[in-house]
Amino acid sequence: MSKKNLVKAAVVGALSAGLVLSAGATKAASPNDMEKCYGVAKAGMNDCGGKGTGHSCQGQSKTDGDPNDWLYLKKGSCEKIIGGSLTSGYKKKGR
C-alpha cells in the first residue's frame, strides 16, 4: 500500500470508533481570580497624552548611521545565552 493509502486507512481506523472526550481538568480556576492578576499588569500603552514619549529612546532617532549599529551597542542578558552559532559556528538553516 502507498503511504497515502496507509495514512487514509489510519485516519478511518482512528475515527471509526467515535471519540469520547472528557471535561478539561484545569478548568477550575475562575477567570476573575484577581490574585492571578497581580504582577502581570501591562504598562498602559496609550497613556501619554503628553509628549514625554521620547524619554526612554532619546538620542536614537537619527535616520543616518549604520543599520547594524545595534549590534555594537548590544549590552544585555543575551550574553548569558551560549552555544549554537555563538560557540560552534552554527549556521542558521531554513530561512
Partner 1 sequence: MLKEIQQVFADDFSSNSSEFLKYIGGGGCEEMSSCSPAPKFIGLDAIQGLEIYRESIIAGLARSLTEIYPVCVKLIGLESFSLLAYRYSENYPSSSPSLINYGQKFSAFLNSIPQMGVALPYFPDVAALELLVHNAYYASSGSDIDLFRFNQLTPSKQSKVVFDLTPSFGLVSSEFPIKHIWEVSQDGADDEIVSLDEGADFLAVHRFGNEVRIESLSAELYLFLGEMCKGLTLSEALSSVLNEFNEFDFQASIQLALDKGFIYGFHVQN
Partner 2 sequence: MSISGKSSFKKSKIQGVGIGLRSCHYQSIIQHKPRIPWFEVISDNYMIEGGPELNYLESIRNDYPIVMHGVGMSVGSVDDLNMDYLGKLRSLKERFEPAWISDHLCWVSADKRYFHDLLPLPYTQESIDHVAKRVQRVQNVLGERILLENVSNYMTYKANEMTEWEFLSNVAEAADCNILLDINNVYVSSYNHKFDPFLYLNEIPVNRVKQFHLAGYQDKGLYLFDSHSEKVKPPVWDLYEFAVTKFGSIPTLIEWDDDIPSLSDLLTEANKASKIIWK
Binding partner at 1 among partner 1, partner 2, none, C-beta below 5 to 8 Å by kind: none
The three state secondary structure string of 53-78 is: HHHHHCCCCCCCCCCCHHHHHCCCHH
* Nearer of residues 32 and 61 to partner 2, judged by Cβ: 32
DSSP 53: G
CA 55 to chain centroid, in Å, comes to 27
1 binds partner 1 (CB under 8 A): no
Binding partner at 13 among partner 1, partner 2, none, C-beta below 5 to 8 Å by kind: none
Q: Which amino acid is at 75?
A: K
Three-class secondary structure of residue 76 per DSSP: coil
The footprint of partner 2 (CB under 8 A) covers 32, 34, 36-53, 55
**Residues whose CB falls within 8 Å of the CB of residue 9, separated by 6 or more in sequence, listed in order:** 1
92 binds partner 1 (CB under 8 A): yes
CB 6 within 8 A of CB 13: no
* Nearer of residues 28 and 34 to partner 2, judged by Cβ: 34
Residue ranges in contact with partner 1 by CB under 8 A = 3, 6-8, 10-11, 14-27, 29-34, 36-37, 40, 42-43, 45-46, 48, 51, 53-58, 60-61, 63, 67-71, 73-78, 80-86, 90, 92-95
